[in-house]
Amino acid sequence: MKANNESAAAKTEPQKNNRLDLDDTDDFVESYAKAMKAKGIDVGSGAPAQDHGVDYNSDEEVYATARALEGRGDPADLDGPSDGKKEIEPLARVDHSKIEYIEIEKNLLQEHPDIAALTDADVMRIRRELDMRVSGHDIAKPCISFAHFMFEDCLLSTISKAGFSTPTAIQQQAVPVVLNGRDLIAVSKTGSGKTAAFVWPMIVHMMDQPELEWGDGPIGLILAPSRELASQIYTETKKFGKAYSLKSAVVYGGASKTDQFKELRNGGIEILVATPGRLIDLVKMKAVSLKRVSFLVLDEADRMFDLGFEPQVRSICNAVRPDRQTLLFSATFAKRIEYLARDVLTDPIRITIGNVGQSNTDVEQIIQVLRDDRFVAEGIVIIFIGRKAGVDELATNLSKNGFPCTAFHGDLLQHERDRVIQDCKANRIQILVATDVAARGLDIKQVRTVINFDVARDIDSHVHRCGRTGRAGEKGRAYTLITQKEDRFAAELVGNLEAGMQPVPPELMALAMKNPRFQSMRSGGGGGRGGRGGGRGRGGRGRGRGGIGFGAGFGGGRGGAGFSSNTTGGFGNRGGFGFNQPPRGGSVSRGGIQFQKSGSDWKSTSFR
């Protein structure tokens, strides 16, 4: 950061005030707790998950848990009544005309001679090759290599050490746009390198701002919908911030509010990554000031809205100086996100990579209709199930039969989640059975396969599930099971596959055509994406015999795995594992796990 010329004339704090006295902090937090208790709110007390008014036998647990973890009924950190219905109050509106802000620098782009020499035709060709659409005026030209970004050597060296060799599509266009000081709307598939696309120019931005003084808050603020994504972004900010010894912090629900309070009050935090609810709590506690924030990022804004945080997000945007630089990143771009962008961004550039809401073309989606719902997977795989009970049951059965496997859902504590993620990254777990709580923010490079055992609640969640594989240019596979009851989702899935230029199996199309709205749209004109089916509805989770399943076989041959639903059983010739549910019983022929199911109960589980 450049030195603040007025800092020498600033009032010098006595040494005892240059640090936060821990006893004073404890007194403040204790006072806060007492004040809340006087209102009938027991801050920090535990509460069972059942107290939050949610049927945890459905996948709604995922979204209830996420809301709770943001302080809307967090079992570990309650800020309201135990019925979980009281939301965190947004921040009060700020009258910025009464606040004197320091000047900030936003336009920091240094155009490389190679880029300056590009003609309009060259730029159009590059964007076309990247499947990129850009709208706005005075748009910076895309950069082809890291050298074109004109970063300082220390940052380029850090990027190189992190394993980056060539910028991804979103990085090639987003970085120069942001360095040019423009607000940005970026719509890109998951696993596209979008985090680095805003972290790198954020670092450049803050190095050109006046130094932080004692008691100042962060310069860069990143909002994320979940603790997993916030932690992942924080890891990236630390990694690249080391180039300039920048100090980062992360705050989210479910962790100690007292510890977070102390860290922020100690000051010196240049980059803060936060979930909306916890940030609002800490701002109200005066743990952090937003006065110095001049670079604001809303990552996965669509997900924050899905979790019900639109009022909180809007209030945070209002609390930050109006002339800030604001970036909005999302994998989808629903109408409500467009309305938010109109309200909180100024003359933004919009970048879209691929089609909005389409599947990642690096993930091969394999759809196959079966007579039942069972499937097999081998290797490091994430299996998504809509019911917590189903997650625990499947994880237990697999573990009992010798396969490193664990459950991942909203009932886990933060340290348990962290341990699961570390075990996956260390290859100690081959199978992660999860609810949608794991669908956002997880970045486990070893994952090559995603299996949607239960369909997602909507097509956007499906896209994010599939995005847990095929990350950073790697190839992956996503398997989806779907029953006859789920014709609405089948209709959305047809559109998703067509948008991603992937084949649509005839059986899937036949099921989608059972949806009246989809059938009407196709019969009335055909083509296009086939509509979104008007939402999926939430009924009918049962998966009895005679249903339809979408999944796939994983190869075969030695060491392979597959699945079948025929009368003879048999799958995955040697060394594989899987699920087999023949109509009349049956068994695993050579190596594997067999799950037999009658009605809603597992009748037997065997291993050969």
Note the pLDDT tens digit of each residue in 433-451: 988 866 566 778 878 889 8
Domain 363-486+536-607 has CATH 3.40.50.970: no
The DSSP 8-state label assigned to residue 558 in this structure reads B
The alpha carbon of 287 is separated from its chain's Cα centroid by a whole number of angstroms, namely: 26
Going by C-beta distance under 8 Å and a sequence separation of 6 or more, which residues neighbour residue 112?
A: 143, 147, 148, 149, 150
Bridging pattern class, strands 476-480 and 363-366: parallel
Mark the ranges of the chain whose per-residue pLDDT is less than 70. 1-87, 190, 355-379, 400-403, 437-441, 472, 524-608
DSSP 335: H
Residue 223 β-bridge partners = 274, 298
User: What is the C-alpha to C-alpha distance for residues 56 and 547, in angstroms, rounded to an integer?
Assistant: 24
| Residue 587, Cβ density class (10 Å: 0-12 exposed, 13-18 middle, ≥19 buried) | middle
* CATH architecture assignment, domain 7-15+109-353: 3-Layer(aba) Sandwich (3.40)
pLDDT tens per residue, range 391-428:
888 887 777 666 677 888 877 878 888 888 888 888 77
CB within 8 A of 426, min separation 6: which ones? none
Would you say the C-alpha torsion 40, 45, 49, 50 has a positive or negative sign? negative
Q: Enumerate the CATH 3.40.50.300 domain ranges in the chain, comma separated.
A: 7-15+109-353, 363-486+536-607
Q: What is the pLDDT of residue 368?
A: 53
Q: What is the pLDDT of residue 461?
A: 85
Helix (H, G, I), strand (E, B) or coil at 557: coil
The answer to whether 203 touches 244, Cβ cutoff 8 Å, is yes
Q: What is the CA radius of gyration of the chain?
A: 25
Going along 260-304, which residue ranges are E strands? Answer: 271-274, 295-299
Q: What confidence score (pLDDT) does residue 156 get?
A: 96
Q: Where are the beta strands (DSSP E) in 397-519?
A: 405-408, 431-434, 449-452, 476-480
Task: For residues 40 and 247, give the distance between their C-alpha atoms in angstroms, rounded to a whole number.
Answer: 37
d(CA 115, CA 111) in angstroms, rounded, equals: 7
* CA atoms of 59 and 50, how far apart (whole Å): 14
pLDDT of residue 598: 37
Interatomic CA distance for residues 239 and 248, integer angstroms: 10
Task: Give me the phi and psi of 186, to 5 degrees please.
Answer: -120, 120
Q: Which two tokens stand for residue 125?
A: 């060709």
- Say what angle helices 459-466 and 487-499 make with each other, to 10 degrees: 50
Under 8 Å between Cβ of 377 and 383: yes
At residue 548, the pLDDT reads 38
| 175: its two tokens | 């970085």
Amino acid sitting at position 589: S
Give pLDDT, residue 38. Answer: 56
pLDDT at 2: 55
The model's pTM: 0.54
Structure-derived torsion over alpha carbons of residues 285, 286, 287, 289, reported in degrees to the nearest 10? 140
Q: For residues 566 and 553, is the Cβ–Cβ distance under 8 A?
A: no
Residue 92's pLDDT is 92
Q: What is the maximum alpha-carbon separation in the chain?
A: 86
pLDDT for position 286: 93
